[in-house]
Chains A and B, each alone.
Chain A
């Protein structure tokens, strides 16, 4: 077990450092900070709302992640396949599961770093007023979980192709579908011709509906289970895809 975790950690470590070896990490962090605060202050009207909370900040996260998570995750497997290094990885004495988990965790922890860097907003709102810090903490955790689900999906889809751009596009589209699943527009168009349970299932698959509950400070078990099982499912599919597509 010790070596199992150790090797997963070595993969994780290489991958995480990989983000910082190129300008990718700094560019990504800058864009993330610029967009998240820009959306909060300009689109979210942070000051005009005159409320000491971070609703305006978190509300944009699903849309931000829709673009930014595929940008982080697109290279995870596509690049290994393009450069042929997948052959090195798979002939090392490790399992595909260790490889997939190590890589996924690296991208997820990288997102955590990005989220931690937004904390000045949290400090600011505390300085300006008296927000409910529990809600904000729960929102941060929820946001990170949602990012994890986006990343697991991206990592999984990036094993399908050798081309990072294609990986990016299919991940964004899939993410968009998962967000939109919760919209009334989508649900009402489905509701008219399907049984209720289908509509409910589609609605419950939506990242948006789960995340909006979290934003209100409601962190129920269903939401936790939803995001975690989404991650586990994608990791499992990812392992299968690596096995199937490795030699193509």
Chain B
């Protein structure tokens, strides 16, 4: 018995000539939140559709809580709560009717269903729209209804396809908090193309592009592995002509000095070095010699976004 709630191996799926998912392994333990990252059309949704049993993989195996999804789909599906892309729901039903329907289909007894509905109303903050037709709800509420139907049977595994897509910043924040609170005893997979989301809620990030798995690391490790060496950025309120630029470059003794024009009167001097982290103090001293008006000086850390771009573009083109 493995403690992996999801254990998928060698998943492959193509649609005609197009290879959507190409040999992906994926396993998720209880308590983990895995962020599925990738450009649009990378194969995130297709992978999720296979994990939930909506699509059958061309090859590979999927074990859900040690139950083989292929040979025993009905039992395996019971462990999963799924929010499909776009959070579809029956718009003619009201929230209570819709959640009751899903709960009953999930085999909840009347008593448990009533309890769960009450919990959902509070936990997902749906009380105020409880008896309203879903078609009249705002996007944020619709998304919450989608989350609630995925959670109604308190599943061990949650698969959420772009849970925060189309939400406003407050709603996104709430959704992330919700995912964090429920993640303790579940295995959660979320897909997103928003990187801050991964930094905010995920314990592991899987980056895929063109159907291939390119990275599978904690966000911190990703940063360690792929981050740029630190760069110093100095913003000056001066016009910098070619001569001044040349002098600046020759007086700053670090490997790479770049000058970027931000607008007519402001420029940015970027200093980096492959071998060592440049010292801010030393650089400032040099720049001061030219009597420039420094308005800002700081280290630029490469964020997950840059790392993501680096991984997906370099690996795909190679």
Using CB atoms and an 8 Å cutoff, list the residues of chain A in contact with chain B.
3, 7, 10-11, 14, 18, 21-22, 83-85, 87-88, 90-95, 246-247
Contact = CB atoms under 8 A, between A and B. Distances in A.
A14 B101 contact: yes
Interface residues of B, number: 28
A134 B55 CA distance: 51
B53 interface: yes
Contact of B77 (A11, A84, A85, A91): A91
Contact of A87 (B54, B74, B90, B101): B54
A94 B77 CA distance: 9
Q: Which 10 A-B pairs have the closest CB atoms?
A: A84-B88, A87-B84, A93-B77, A91-B52, A21-B92, A93-B74, A85-B88, A92-B105, A91-B82, A10-B104
B140 interface: no
Interface of B: 49, 52-55, 73-75, 77-78, 80, 82, 84-86, 88-93, 101-102, 104-107, 149
Contacts of A18: 90, 92-93
Given A21-B93, A247-B49, 20 more contacts: A10-B104, A11-B105, A14-B90, A83-B88, A83-B90, A83-B91, A88-B84, A88-B102, A90-B53, A91-B52, A91-B53, A91-B80, A91-B84, A92-B102, A93-B74, A93-B106, A94-B105, A246-B54, A247-B54, A247-B55
Contacts of A14: 90, 93, 101
B88 A88 contact: yes
Nearest to B81: A91
Contacts of A10: 101, 104-105
Chain A binding surface SS class: helix
Specify the main secondary structure of chain B where it touches its partner: loop
Contacts of A90: 53-54
Contacts of A88: 82, 84, 88-89, 102, 149
A22 B92 contact: yes
Interface centre among A22, A90, A93 (most CB of B within 10 A): A93
A247 B57 CA distance: 12
A84 B49 CA distance: 12
A180 B130 CA distance: 50
A92 B80 CA distance: 9
Nearest to B146: A88
A160 B73 CA distance: 24
